[in-house]
């Protein structure tokens, strides 16, 4: 096999965290399979910024300066041409809705196989196979590809490598955009559900559940999150009850997060919620019910009244930070 091409999305001068995960994964797989890993960037990216993708292990970055970033069709045009010209067998995406859209279009364009919501990629006999959880994550389905393959990760499935020193070579490519691409124009760009916080990107999350007792209970979470420099998340139960916005919902039918610290306040820890945060590095739970399932997978559990504990914790954090 001759190569893996990863798409790196950027916004306001920085690469998307999931894209960096995808780029890192491409480099890791290429090393295992003994082939090359390259990245592709679209639009206005400086030489310096593009070259930093080398820190994550890719050797070359293709840049299509004239194509608009953030829309799926132009990226399909660019990636299809880059893959055809350079003989890449696989395209890899870190995750997110744009990745799904580009990946689907690219698969149709190249007549390639496509697998979405992938949680793990393996090298088998020099070829890639993708694992995807199905049936509500109760089973794993494995895809292999007859010819070329498009692999789109689940959000946060691919770990971003520790950045190294090497810079990537940047090669500009000119791609004639298809008619469909030219009809599209970016009007505005913003968070999908009107969220003003980046739940998925936050390093610290303070999550509240029905154990908060009332909508005002979230004020305690907000105060602690502010003190810690994190964001506030919620369970489906409280979103359903209208206590907090849907954009903050974590779980099976909400967002999937993996912060460094997930502090669960008044959350029983049903599996439907657990699947949304289980890959967090540290999980701390506060619940008055010592039988709550959440304690079974917490690194630290506190049995007690969160109305007393949360304010004290907030004060302590503030005091420590000075």
DSSP state of 162: P
**Residue with smaller CB distance to other proteins, 111 or 188:** 188
Comparing CA positions, the residue from 118, 114, 122, 119 lying closest to residue 146 is 114
Distances (CA, A) of 308 to 101, 201, 261: 47, 29, 21
CA angle centred on 171, ends 165 and 172, rounded to 5°: 135
118 or 292: whose CB is closer to other proteins? 292
Total site size for other proteins, rule CB under 8 A: 21
Residues 225-244 that bind other proteins (CB under 8 A): 236-237, 239-241
Q: Least Å distance between CB 215 and other proteins?
A: 13
Does position 290 interact with other proteins (CB under 8 A)? The reply is: no
What residues contact 101, with CB distance under 8 A and at least 6 apart? 72
Is residue 22 a contact partner of residue 103, using CB atoms and an 8 Å limit? no
Q: Are 181 and 41 in contact (CB under 8 A)?
A: no
CA distance 174 to 44: 14
Position 264 contacts other proteins (CB under 8 A): no
| Residue 291 touches other proteins, criterion: CB under 8 A | yes
210 scored as a contact of other proteins (CB under 8 A): yes
| Residues facing residue 204 across a β-bridge | 261
| H or E element, residue 56 | none
Q: Which is nearer to other proteins, 136 or 229 (CB)?
A: 136
The residue among 40 and 220 lying less far from other proteins, judged by its C-beta, is 220
Give the nearest distance from C-beta 253 to other proteins in angstroms.
5
**Euclidean distance between CA atoms 158 and 175, whole angstroms:** 29
Please state the closest distance from residue 242 (CB atom) to other proteins, in A.
10
Q: Which residues contact 171 (CB under 8 A, 6 or more apart)?
A: 60, 61, 62, 63
Q: Based on CB atoms, which residue is closest to other proteins, 220 or 228?
A: 220
Provide the minimum distance between the beta carbon of 138 and other proteins in the complex, in angstroms, as a whole number.
5
Shortest reach from residue 309's CB to other proteins, in Å: 17
Tokens representing residue 243 in the block:
């206590």
Q: Which is nearer to other proteins, 148 or 210 (CB)?
A: 210
Q: Is 213 in the site for other proteins (CB under 8 A)?
A: yes
Could you say which residues in the range 99-158 bind other proteins, by CB under 8 A? 135-136, 138
Q: Choose which of 253, 281, 308, 315 interacts with other proteins (CB under 8 A).
A: 253
CA atoms within 13 A on the CB side of 83: 26
Interface ranges with other proteins (CB under 8 A): 135-136, 138, 210, 213, 236-237, 239-241, 246, 249, 252-254, 270-272, 291, 293, 296
């Amino acid at each position: 096999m001759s190569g893996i091409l990863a798409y790196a999305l950027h916004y306001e001068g920085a690469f998307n965290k999931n894209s960096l995960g995808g780029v890192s994964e491409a480099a890791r797989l290429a090393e295992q399979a003994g082939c090359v890993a390259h990245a592709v960037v679209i639009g206005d990216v400086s030489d310096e910024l593009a070259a930093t993708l080398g820190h994550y292990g890719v050797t070359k970055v293709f840049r299509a300066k004239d194509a608009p970033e953030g829309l799926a069709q132009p990226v399909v045009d660019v990636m299809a041409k880059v893959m055809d010209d350079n003989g890449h067998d696989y395209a890899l995406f870190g995750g997110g809705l744009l990745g799904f859209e580009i990946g689907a279009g690219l698969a149709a364009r190249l007549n390639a196989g496509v697998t979405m919501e992938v949680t793990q990629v393996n090298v088998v006999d020099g070829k890639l196979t993708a694992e995807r959880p199905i049936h509500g994550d109760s089973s794993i389905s494995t895809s292999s590809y007859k010819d070329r393959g498009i692999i789109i990760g689940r959000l946060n499935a691919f770990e971003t490598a520790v950045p190294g020193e090497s810079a990537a070579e940047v090669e500009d490519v000119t791609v004639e955009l298809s008619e469909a691409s030219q009809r599209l124009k970016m009007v505005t760009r913003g968070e999908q559900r009107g969220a003003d916080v980046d739940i998925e990107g936050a390093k610290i999350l303070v999550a509240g559940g029905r154990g908060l007792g009332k909508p005002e209970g979230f004020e305690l979470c907000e105060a602690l999150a502010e003190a810690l420099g994190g964001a506030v998340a919620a369970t489906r139960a409280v979103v359903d009850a209208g206590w907090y916005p849907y954009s903050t919902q974590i779980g099976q039918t909400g967002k999937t997060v993996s912060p460094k610290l997930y502090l669960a306040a008044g959350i029983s820890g049903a599996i439907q919620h657990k699947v949304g945060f289980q890959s967090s590095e540290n999980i701390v739970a506060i619940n008055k019910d010592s039988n709550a399932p959440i304690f079974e997978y917490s690194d630290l559990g506190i049995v007690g009244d969160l109305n007393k504990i949360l304010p004290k914790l907030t004060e302590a954090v503030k005091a420590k930070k000075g």
